[in-house]
Amino acid sequence: MDIQAIVEQVWAELAERRGSGAVADYIPALARVDPRRFGIAVATPDGGFHCAGDADEPFSIQSISKVFVLALALDRHGARLFDKVGREPSGDPFNSIVQLERDQGIPRNPFINAGAIVTTDHLIDDRPVDEAVAELLALLRKMARDPGITIDGEVAMSESTAGDRNRSLAYFMASFGVLTNAVPDILDGYFQQCALALSCRNLAEAGLFLAFDGTDPVTGERVVSSARCRRINALMLTCGHYDNSGEFAYDVGFCGKSGVGGGILAVVPGRASIAVWSPGLGAGGTSLLGAAALKAIAERTGWSIFG
Ligand code: GLN
């Protein structure tokens, strides 16, 4: 199968729709991104890449960071983490607060904002926030084999300025005793992780271990146990796109995680890791063109996880 040709065809067929969807504008720094950017990168276990378009331009990965934070928080705390965050799809928007009151401040899953605030609290644990953020950055740099990956300080600042909803979620959970660290510290870590800037190539490579049982197929190094890897992938499939997760599983059939920066990381167990980026979002907060590109790649490669 000529994956490079498939990636180039899919990019070319969708390129005329660049600019469709709505760029997230509730974070001012994201509203300034060129809506016509569109990149695709497929990373394969032999260390190869198949790229098209703006695959080397760093973008704000936003909620995609929640996957890597979950992996590190589980590493630190094991399954006890799930005493404080659930494993069920929310059926609500990513920044919804309504369910928290019904469930005594326990968020439905680690991939909505409230859930990621809980996993960030666990990642920080009993150390300074910057140490936890440095661990996350080191993981991404190592997995993507790119020491140049950074956090976009302007986006992080913008997140904080526009962060009233996330503050509300965090203080609401704190009122139920769900959080351990001080809310401003947790949000500092949360805003920084959302502002991580990676290219499609970086992201596809960083996510490759999730497609190969928790092991980096290029170096053979284990990142998470295979049981944990399966569970992270299960959560990506069921909760990776908020109340759009069912639609994404139905349409695309890959484990995936989207972010409001317009990126999507898709994991195809045993095959590849794919990152797409197009800033225009659909109503559920997932990249319109990105999801369309993944759907087309799934159809042409026959790689759906459902056979
Ligand atoms: N930084 C964003 C927020 O907290 C992340 C949301 C997302 O990517 N869905 O609202």
Cα angle 141, 134, 182; round to 5: 145
Distance of CA 96 to the CA centre of its chain: 18
HSE-up of residue 140 (Cα within 13 Å, Cβ side):
26
Question: What is the biggest distance separating any 2 CA atoms in the chain, rounded to whole angstroms?
Answer: 54
Q: Tell me the per-residue pLDDT of 139-196, one tens digit each, with 9 for 90 and over.
A: 999 999 999 999 999 999 999 999 999 999 999 999 999 999 999 999 999 999 999 9
Domains, the chain, with CATH or none = 3-57+199-218+225-301 (3.40.710.10), 64-194 (3.40.710.10)
User: Which residues on neighbouring strands pair with residue 161, listed in sequence order?
Assistant: none
Give me ligand 1 centre to Cα 286, in Å: 11
Per-residue pLDDT at 92:
85
- With a cut of 90, say whether residue 100 has pLDDT above it: yes
pLDDT band at 295 (very low <50, low <70, confident <90, very high): very high
Distance of CA 154 to the CA centre of its chain: 20
User: Which residues on neighbouring strands pair with residue 42, listed in sequence order?
Assistant: 50, 274
The minimum-distance atom of ligand 1 relative to the CA of 285 is 9
Cβ within 8 Å of residue 157, ≥6 positions away? 29
Pocket test for ligand 1, best of 62, 191, 265 (most atoms within 8 A of CB): 62
Instruction: Decide: 95 in ligand 1 pocket, CB within 6 A.
Output: yes
Backbone angles phi, psi at 43, to 5 degrees: -105, 130
Give me ligand 1 centre to Cα 280, in Å: 14
Cβ within 8 Å of residue 51, ≥6 positions away? 7, 39, 40, 41, 42, 200, 201
Sequential DSSP letters for 153-209: HHHHHHHHHT-HHHHHHHHHHHHTT---S-HHHHHHHHHHHHTEEE-HHHHHHHTHH
Instruction: Decide: 260 in ligand 1 pocket, CB within 6 A.
Output: yes
Q: Would you please indicate which residues are annotated as catalytic (active-site) residues?
A: 63, 66, 190, 242, 260
Residue with tokens 């997760």: 245
- With a cut of 90, say whether residue 307 has pLDDT above it: no
Q: Read off the pLDDT of each residue in 298-304 and give the average, rounded to a whole number.
A: 96
Q: Tell me the per-residue pLDDT of 7-59, one tens digit each, with 9 for 90 and over.
A: 999 999 999 999 999 999 889 999 999 999 999 999 999 999 999 999 999 99
- CA–CA separation, 186 vs 160, rounded Å? 12
Distance linking the first and last C-alpha atoms of the chain? 17
Pocket test for ligand 1, best of 152, 165, 260 (most atoms within 8 A of CB): 260
Per-residue pLDDT at 94:
85
pLDDT over 90 percentage in the chain: 94
Q: Tell me the per-residue pLDDT of 104-133, one tens digit each, with 9 for 90 and over.
A: 999 999 999 999 999 999 999 999 999 999
The minimum-distance atom of ligand 1 relative to the CA of 63 is 8
Give me ligand 1 centre to Cα 37, in Å: 19
Give me ligand 1 centre to Cα 66, in Å: 10
Mean pLDDT, the chain, whole residue set: 96
- CA–CA separation, 140 vs 258, rounded Å? 17
The minimum-distance atom of ligand 1 relative to the CA of 62 is 8
pLDDT band at 93 (very low <50, low <70, confident <90, very high): confident
pTM of the predicted structure, to 2 decimals: 0.97
Q: Tell me the per-residue pLDDT of 226-242, one tens digit each, with 9 for 90 and over.
A: 999 999 999 999 999 98
